[in-house]
Structure formats: structure tokens, C-alpha cells
Structure 1
Amino acid sequence: MSDPVKVLVTGAAGQIAYSLLYSIAKGDVFGEKQPISLVLLDIPPMMAVLDGVVMELQDCALPLLAEVIPTADEAAAFKDIDVALLVGAQPRRQGMERKDLLKANVKIFKSQGAALDAHAKKTVKVVVVGNPANTNALVISKFAPSIPKENFSCLTRLDQNRAQAQVASKLGISNENVQRTIIWGNHSSTQFPDLAHAVVHVNGKLMPAQEAIKDDNWVKNDFIQTVQTRGGAVIQARKLSSAMSAAKAICDHVRDWWFGTGERWVSMGIISKGDYGIQEGLMYSFPVQIGTDKVVQVVPGLTISDFAREKLDATQAELIEERDCAFSFLEA
């Protein structure tokens, strides 16, 4: 057995973490032989609930779970961590405008960025889940300057999984037979779910997804709208936000970052280096491939149609507006 991987989960008393922690602790993310040290951070009013979560993890009697550390102290939480899964954030409440949400989360992620910078390993891998995920990730990276920008990401894998599932359902095939669905841009209703490069296995034959679907109106309208608004549809039906599917997507994101993707493409929010005309420094979702060295590379050379260009630029414009709004609060 190797030394434990130290994994921090914030918002650890919440419903996403409740689905996420078991998967991490039993080996679904870092492998069936990798011991795990779990650090669970939440706010002081949630400590009693968090104690119950700790009890349940203990009662699972998981062989890979070396220790569980519940805390409300950021310095203790970020100490020597290998992976930070930042699930907790200020939720958007009724009557709250997006700028109010940004203002509340700037404070949270500024503080966590400082703690990350001061206490975490410099090799730490950071995944921001709490919304607005792209801008929150950008803020925390700003306040952890000693951590390489390549070590920060935000979750758009849930959107990719949703897109993949919609195609599989449309064609009546299994999810594993859908590949290279792409999510560009923001984890919001402006994101662009793109099937232009997707491929599917149908009746033993590999073909472009759009050729198999044979419904351009569905591809350009119903499909995009369904993926963009899926989170809201879940809330309307469940009266709660996505938890099980979000937790599964976090596991997918981290496992691929840890072990590599091979020839597969996955969608991940990363700091733009200017690829595909996206402003450098934005936290933007791209199609990427990851090597066994954990280095993330944007898939190069994809043809971008006029239709796609408009969508890429629209979600970029929203991210620029969010960034400028959030940073204005930092300067106030």
C-alpha cells in the first residue's frame, strides 16, 4: 500500500458530498489499492451534521479509508492536501441576482485561495464545483499565486455526461457508444454542447453522431437547450439540485486527471491559453486530453463552424462579464 492521498472536500455536509465521499473512499477515483485521507470542511453551523457523515463513513468499514478529518478551520483543511474538491459555495437564493451571488462567493474563494496558497502542496489539483464554477475557480487561482495555473479546473463533466446521455437516448444505444461530445465555455445556460466532432457506435459501425441522428433541428435546438437547462429541470422535478449525477461527474473528472484519458476526449474548465480564439486567462471549458503525467492539453485543430463560433463567443462574453463583476468586488 502506498501513502494515503489527502483529499479535501468542502461543503462536506451537503448533498453532493453525501454521494461523493463514499465513491472516493471505496476506490472509485484513485484506484482500488490507493489509501485515502479525507478532510471534510464545512461552516461551523454544519459541524453536527458533519459528525453524522463521519460516523457513516466509519460505519462503512472501508479498507482504503485511512482517516477522516472533519473541520471548520480552513488552515487545517488545506494543510498538505493533494486534491481539493471545492463543492461548497454560497447557493443562489430566491430574489438573489447573479451579481449578488458573485459577491458572496468572491469572499469565500478569496479566503480559500489564501489558505490553499499558504498550506497546500504546490502540486495540488483543484476542482471547483460550487457555482458559478468557472468564475469561482478563476478567483481562487488568483489568490493562490504559488500554485501553477494548470492545477486549477472547474467541473463541466456533468454537462458532458448529460450531452452524451441525450445522444445515447436519441439513438437507442448505450452511453459507452457515444464519444467526443464537447462542452465549450461556461457552466451556465450559455454553455455550448457541441456534437460536430462526436462519434457513435451504431450496429458495430463507427460514424459521426450527426450522421447517425439525421435530425439537424434536434442537434441545433432541442439537444442544446436540453443540456443547457438540465440542471433547472432537475431542480423543478426534485425540488433539489443535482447531487448523484454531480458526484459521479466529479469522480469522472478527477479520475481522468489522475490516470489520464488515453485517446478519449473529455470536457474540463481550465485557464485559457488562447486556444480557439478564447481570451487568455479565462476559465473556459474545452475538449481536452490528459496524459499519464496529469498534464492537460486542449484538443487541437478542430474545425469551428460559423454556428459554433457564435456559440463559443456568446459563452465567452458571459464569462468576461462575470469575471469583471467578480474582480470589481475584489477591488472595492
Structure 2
Amino acid sequence: MSIARGYAAFSPTAPMASYTFERRDPRADDVHIEILFSGVCHSDLHTAHGEWDGLIYPNGTDYPLVPGHEIVGRVTAVGAKVTRFTPGDLVGVGTMVDSCGQCVNCLHGQESYCLKGATWTYNSPDRVDGTTTQGGYSDAIVVKQDFVFRITHSEEQLAAVAPLLCAGVTMWSPLRHWAAGPGRKVGVVGIGGLGHMGIKLARALGAHVVAFTTSESKRADALALGAHEVVNSRDAAAMAAHAGTLDLILNSVAVAHDLDTYTSLLSLDGAHVLVGIPAEPHPSPSVANLIGGRRSLTGSLVGGTKETQEMLDFCARHGIVADIEMIRMQDIETAFSRMAKADVKYRFVIDMASMKHAA
């Protein structure tokens, strides 16, 4: 065992606080990683506050909880059977650290849809010893090599690479599945941590990108991110002008809203893909709106291991990283508060060097 230092939630209402805990010694197929940067995802906030108990986590949240699943670090040790990594390698870890590896979904590289349940990076039982996984708000982590990803971005970009491990691949997976590219028109709803990555990736894939926002103040930002067009979704005339024109819509909004507003913008056989998870259900969509254009209302989870490495390599080739605000570990509660108000452009990332000075 080794000692790790991090920050944890000790109850749904207690503020995050310093926490010292044990990490296992690397098993034969494990990689020990010194964490350099950890992105702050809205999922971290939901889980820390117990807001997904019974919804995403049937057994609730196991406290103390160390969140964090957008991890970039350096390999410090490897198990005897590890062949893909050596000490000194720059690597990433995303939302999963294991799966059954045997079901049809796992065998096709879609481990997030493991029929026996993926092992999430935090608040999930380890498949070997049953202990609860603890995430990236810490100075080190031990992960099975199959769920560790090679980072080829420059070291100066590492902090901004961290959000790619969740926000990036969450948008990449549906873009690839629904074949976004030249000749395709892609809408991105919501310009936040997920949405801003959707704009960047869709543009780099060659699609025509239309960004949708309720905030006129985000128009210039969306264009700077790569959108070809920006539509204020509160402008009925602007929305009507796009009716029946979009092949794919990625909807990253995580609050309940009228889905028909966007579904009606789809062309024949278009897909409206939900990637945000609201605390309350969306209003029931109109069946007529789906039938009338043979449209699909569907969802997408974070991508599997093959897609994640593919996305990272694509982003390195195209110079794509997240837009971030760097914070100290000690400032996580302020970051949570701001994130809840959508007051971040567009992802907080923790500099784990700050743990050396954490109280």
C-alpha cells in the first residue's frame, strides 16, 4: 500500500476537505500514476452532494468520496505484466478504471456500456477487492493498464488536456457514431464544459457547426470556438429558419427543458443526442415530431477505451485542448459554487502541485 493525499467529500452537505488514504500496490497489470492535473466535472459536484443517489448510483454515495475523472499524470511504477507503459510516460485516466472485459460491449471497446457494469473512477466497487474507487482529486492513483491512455500533447498543454478525458470523449463518441464530418450539419446545444468541446471537435471533423445558446453574450465566444453560426434559441424566427436542416444535434444542457424545440430542427433521419443528465426529467417529447421526420431522440454516454485514445490522438494532431481556468485544490468549493452557476470558461482544472500546501 502507498499513502495518497487528496480532497474528499465526507457527507452530502460537508465542504470538501483534506483526506489521507491508501492506494493499493500495483497489481501485475496496474500502472501507478503521479497526478499532475485533474479536471473538475459537473459529475463530481453531483456525486459529492449525493444528487445522483438512486439515479446513477443505485447504492448511493460511499463517503468519504474523492471525486475526479479527468486525470493527467506521469507513470511512476508499473506491474510485472504491464507492456504498454513505462515510468516517465505521460498518461491520462478518464471516467472508468475497469469493466468485465468479456461481454459483447466490452469486446467491441464500448466498456462504458459493460453489461455487468463499468467500474467508475470513483464511487464504484473495485472488481478484485471490493473497495470503493477514489478519483483524481489526489496526488496519485493506481489503474489497470487497459484504462490508461497515452498523452502525446506537449507538456505545456497538459492541464488543458485533462478535460478531454471526460468532456472531450463525451462529445467525440456521438460525433463519431453519427458520422459527423464534411457535408454534415451539426448543432451543439449549450456552450459550457461539454458544449465548447463539441464545437471544437465537430469543426475539426469538417462538419458545419451551429451553436445554440440562450445567452446572447456567448455569441462571440461560440464563433471563436469554431461555430459557423450561432443561434439564440429564444429567438423564434432564428430557430424557425433552421427547421429541418440539422443532421445531428448534441444537447449538453443538464436541466430539464423542451426537447421538441430542438428535435424539430432535424432533417430526415436526424438524431438529437442527449449527453447532459438533468436532476429532473425533461417534459415528455412529442411523438409526432419524431414520426414526422423519421427522427431519433437518443442519448450517449462517455466513449470506450478505443474511442478515448482515438480522440486524444486526434486532438494532439489538431492542436485541440479545452479552455480552462486553473485552480488550487484548496479552492475546490469556490469552483463548485461557480460551476453550479455556469460561471466558468469552460472547465476548471486543479493543479495538483497545490496539494503540497493543502491544509
Name the TM tier (shorter chain): 0.3 to 0.5
Which structure has the highest helix share of the two?
1
TM-score (norm 1): 0.33
The normalised TM-score by structure 2 is: 0.31
